[in-house]
Structure 1
Amino acid sequence: MRRRSLLAACASAGLLAGCGLLPGGEDRRTVTVWLMKGSAPEEFLRRFTEEFERKNSGLRLDIRIQEWTGIGDKVQAAVDTGTEEGPDVIEVGNTQVSQYVERDRLLDLTLEARLHWGGEDWLPGLAEPGQLMSHQYGIPWYAANRVVIYRKDLFEQAGVTAPPRDRDAWLDATEQLNSGGNQGIYLAGQDWYTLAGFIWEEGGGLADDGGGGGWHGTLDTPAALRGMDFYQRLQALGEGPVGADEEHPPQAQVFARGQVAQMVAVPGLARTVVEQNPQLKGKLGFFPVPGRLAGRPGAVFIGGSDLVIPNNSRERDGAVAVVAALTGARWDTELARTMNYVPNKKSLAKAVGDEEGVAAMAAGAARGQATPNSPQWGKVEADNPIKEYMTKVLKGADPATEAKRASRRITETLTSVG
């Protein structure tokens, strides 16, 4: 890359020092890192870069911030072909790793994970999607998952003295809150990520690979149907639209303007609620999504990011050093505190325990899971039969019949070629 182009790329991310353009950086080997917009603040990246380059005197970092829109095709092109300016480390969504592993485009980091990085303590919902045949390709960076955001004042008015500790108590409390013109909960009919957690809590799944025998949809299993039954009972205690998801309309908007006692969302959405209705400042609380057993959080979908290294990286050793540093305890917990994320290891949850929403999220993250680890899963989400299934059931259709139909569609998509 010409000096002028490199300067422009670095300046856009505010990382001149990290790009080796300051005195003393010209003889260093460059490690190019692609991180996603919004994942880490500029000041965090600047401090990380300065310390990393100080400890690794032969390396300089070129951190380039990427937009989420269209990133899949851009990453695929980078790992397929590779260029002199291509990335050595890439941040990808935890559920996206499998599509790059399928084509043998990522560096196998199993040895590092087991011997040096304490991989046995990683959150399963981040670590497992980064694996194939027990080999680790995606290294967990940070996580986020849903909790229950609730109105403390409405709980007090309804006589609900404490957050429920299991699902039966959650239903009872929600019914108690569903009075006096209030909605006990706002739960859109097509919030399939929340449904997935209920299904996992029952021991079911969205799809299964049959122990390597081929993927098939599993919404029609008894466990998955029990998860849908719980969703149906909970959703009926509010006025969420049965034919739309949580973004249509945005549930934070509904929560902010209405007498809604609860919603299931990531804790950060509480800030949006308060921005839209400042009168709710100090009135919002958080608790983990309840599970079947008292005191044990329910299973939840966990989203977040893994770091991967393309096989075509020209600076593999430097790339490994960057991944080790970014995902290590020091920088990982600092990022979690800064951004209200969940750290990548269960043992690090205490680092965010002083913030109520993040503490609730971290408690749930220990039981977090990800979507089926199939390269074709993105196609399922693109034409999502789970949403249609949910709406039909909430409108009164037979759950078993509709679950079979949706499972067939999932199977057809996961077994399609190309």
Structure 2
Amino acid sequence: MKRQLIAAVGVAAMVVGVAACGSDAKSGGDSGSSNTSAAKNYSGKTLTVWLMDGSAPKGWTDTVKADFETAYPGSKVDFQIQKWGGIGAKVTAALSEGSVDVLEVGNTQTAGYAATGGLLDITKDKAALGGADWAANQNESAILDGKQYAAPWWVSNRVVAYNKDLWTKAGITAAPKTLDEFYGDLDKLKTTAGVADAIYMPGQEWYVYFGLLTSEGGKIAKKDGDKWVGGLSSPEGQKAFETYKKLQSYSTTGPKDKDEATPQQKDVFGHGDIGTMIGLGWELPDEKALPKDKIGFFPLPGKTADKPSAVFLGGSNLAIAQASKNSDMAKDFLKIALNDKNEGLVAASGNIPNKASLNGQVAGDFAKAAQPAAAVGAITPNTPTWVNVENEPNPVKEFLTGALTGDYAAAAKKADDEIAKRLNQKQ
């Protein structure tokens, strides 16, 4: 799960091509019904589906395979689980050779795969796949130049994790509903015996800043005519930074020139003397370091109690390879893979499903804390060249360090210029 979330929730280091598809079935709720299966004959055909290691919820592949092979007698679904190491070259070859039909795609990578011609345009199939009900902020990553190249599968996002024992010791009895209440709780933790740090938050937590920027109505970058321009120098960017700076000021041990992975913040939080951290599910400490029942969760509050701060939505889409020789079969597979029954398995596994009507099935304390913010979350700029920005040295990380230690305007201008340069590079 960790490797999956690294790639799908943020660190898209290469644009290669992945896609996956699905089909409809006999569970209720989605358009496209099993009544169509009688008119289609996939007997003797095998659909090759690539998923990444640790990505599919437990039982999901077995259920989807059984549903599809029952709906289309004589057909076969061949799920092939791929390792992250070397996946780029492997996917590129598979897409060009037509040796894969359906692939899982990281949502920040989908535009890149679509732009290279690796993914099938499924715009006309969106309604039959249940697309009218897909969450708009999740589906944005599956669209390029107005065309649908994938279907949203699931997302996850960061939440506040806290040490229950330390919060109790500090006299905090309820999760904060606003940022001001959260600041008050951090003030209490600062003066509590045995607390080394109220919150562990290194200076380059750029995904946290991304969420705060989204809350202010800003963007890291946007189109100005046919060119991309950076958005950190905007009034929204500065407002978001003021909130970010205040949160980071409570972290006496978080280095201003490091991100959450250096060192791994789960190891820091696992020491047991840190009050709070902001992170993903896989960033939680090992059970031996800090038992799960000692950790609580809540969404990062907003300025008012009516909604939490926005978040970066990381996750996966399912798409069909352009070179697939079984594209009709792949579309019917997508209908089944994404129907309410099987998407419900996604929710029950602790991820956020692709439609709000299934949010009641989200299970697990972490996912339940993540779900409210997912509704107001966003993805990074949806362009094939976004990967250039995340390549090290990441200008957003450098901006945060520069603004925390020096002049905001100068740091923002430098980062905006570099973001625009990288986004406007030709592929």
The residue that corresponds to 2:276 in the other structure is 262
Give the corresponding residue for 1:98. 111
2:167 is the alignment partner of 1:155: yes
- Give the 3-state SS of the residue equivalent to 2:212 in structure 1: helix
Which residue among 167, 174, 182 is the counterpart of 1:170?
182
Q: Is 1:130 matched up with 2:139?
A: no
Structure 2 distance, partners of 1:216, 1:70, is 33
In 1, are the aligned partners of 2:57 and 2:345 still within 8 Å (CA)? no
**Which residue of structure 2 aligns with residue 275 of structure 1?**
288
Q: Secondary structure at the match of 1:409?
A: helix
Instruction: Output the CA distance in 1 between the equivalents of 2:309 and 2:238.
Output: 17
**1:356-377 deviations in whole A, cap 9, x for unaligned?**
2111111111112111111111
Normalised by the size of structure 2, how large is the TM-score? 0.85
Match of 1:111 among 124, 130, 134: 124
Aligned to 1:381: 390
Deviation of 1:41 after TM superposition, in Å, equals 5.4
Q: Match of 1:21?
A: none
Alignment-mate amino acid for residue 109 of structure 2: Q
1:87 aligns with 2:88: no
Residue aligning to 1:217: 230
Tell me the amino acid that sits aligned with residue 101 of structure 1.
Answer: A
Greater fraction helix: 1
1:106 CA displacement: 1.8
Higher relative contact order (CA 8 A, sep 6+): 2
Name the CA distance, whole Å, in 1 between partners of 2:397 and 2:269.
22
Aligned counterparts, 1:309-388, within 5 A: 309-338=320-349, 340-352=350-362, 354-383=363-392, 384-388=394-398
Q: In the superposition, relative to structure 1, how do residues 152 and 42 fare at CA in structure 2: closer, same or farther (>3 Å)?
A: closer
Q: Are residues 374 and 73 of structure 1, via their aligned partners in 2, closer, same or farther at CA, if it must alter by over 3 Å?
A: farther
CA–CA separation in structure 2 for the residues paired with 1:134 and 1:168? 40
TM-score (norm 1): 0.87
Output the CA distance in 2 between the equivalents of 1:46 and 1:251: 35
2:94 alignment partner, SS class = helix
Aligned to 1:198: 212
Measure, in 1, the Cα distance between the counterparts of 2:306 and 2:344: 25
Q: Does 1:250 align with 2:253?
A: no
SS across alignment from 2:78: strand
Give the letter aligned to residue 352 of structure 2.
Answer: V
2:69 is paired with a residue whose SS is: helix
Q: Tell me by how many angstroms 1:235 deviates.
A: 0.6
What is the CA–CA distance in structure 2 between the aligned matches of 1:160 and 1:110, rounded to whole Å?
Answer: 50
Structure 1 residues 67-126: Cα deviation after superposition (integer angstroms, max 9, x where no partner): 2233233323333x224xx1111101011110122133322222322x233324323342
Deviations along 1:194-243, one digit per CA (max 9) or x if unpaired, are 11001111111111122x52112111111011111211110110121111
C-alpha distance 75-124 of structure 1, shift in aligned 2 (>3 A): farther
Counterpart for residue 239 of structure 2? 226
Output the amino acid matched with 1:54. T
User: Which of the numbers 384, 403, 410 marks the counterpart of 1:401?
Assistant: 410
Cα distance in structure 2, aligned partners of 1:42 and 1:159: 39
Show CA shifts across 1:119-159 (max 9, x none): 24323342101112332112011111111111222222222
CA–CA separation in structure 1 for the residues paired with 2:89 and 2:344: 31
Rounded to whole Å, the distance in 1 between the matches of 2:111 and 2:60 is 29
Q: CA RMSD in A?
A: 2.0
Partner Cα distance (2:145, 2:62) in 1: 37
**Alignment partner, residue 8 of structure 1:** none
Whichever residue aligns with residue 344 of structure 2, its letter is T
Identical pairs, percent? 38
- 1:302 pairs with 2:324: no
Rounded to whole Å, the distance in 1 between the matches of 2:138 and 2:115 is 18
CA contact (8 A) 1:219 1:407 kept: yes
State how far apart, in whole Å, the 1-side matches of 2:354 and 2:399 are. Answer: 33
- Checking the alignment, whether the CA contact within 8 Å between 1:209 and 1:216 is kept in structure 2 is yes
Which letter does structure 2 place at the counterpart of 1:176?
K
Report if aligned partners of 2:130, 2:339 keep a CA contact under 8 Å in 1: no
**C-alpha displacement at 1:58, in angstroms?**
4.3
Tell me if the contact between 1:31 and 1:60 (Cα under 8 Å) persists in the aligned partners: yes
Letter in 1 for 2:328: D
Secondary structure of 1:95's partner? Answer: coil
Q: Is the partner of 1:323 in helix, strand or coil? A: helix
SS in structure 1 of the partner of residue 97 of structure 2: coil
Gaps of 5+ in 1: 1-25
Q: Which runs of 5+ in 2 are unaligned?
A: 1-41
3-state SS in 2 of match to 1:154: helix
Report if aligned partners of 2:221, 2:231 keep a CA contact under 8 Å in 1: yes
1:322-362: CA deviations, max 9, x gaps? Answer: 21211221111113313x2111112211001x522111111
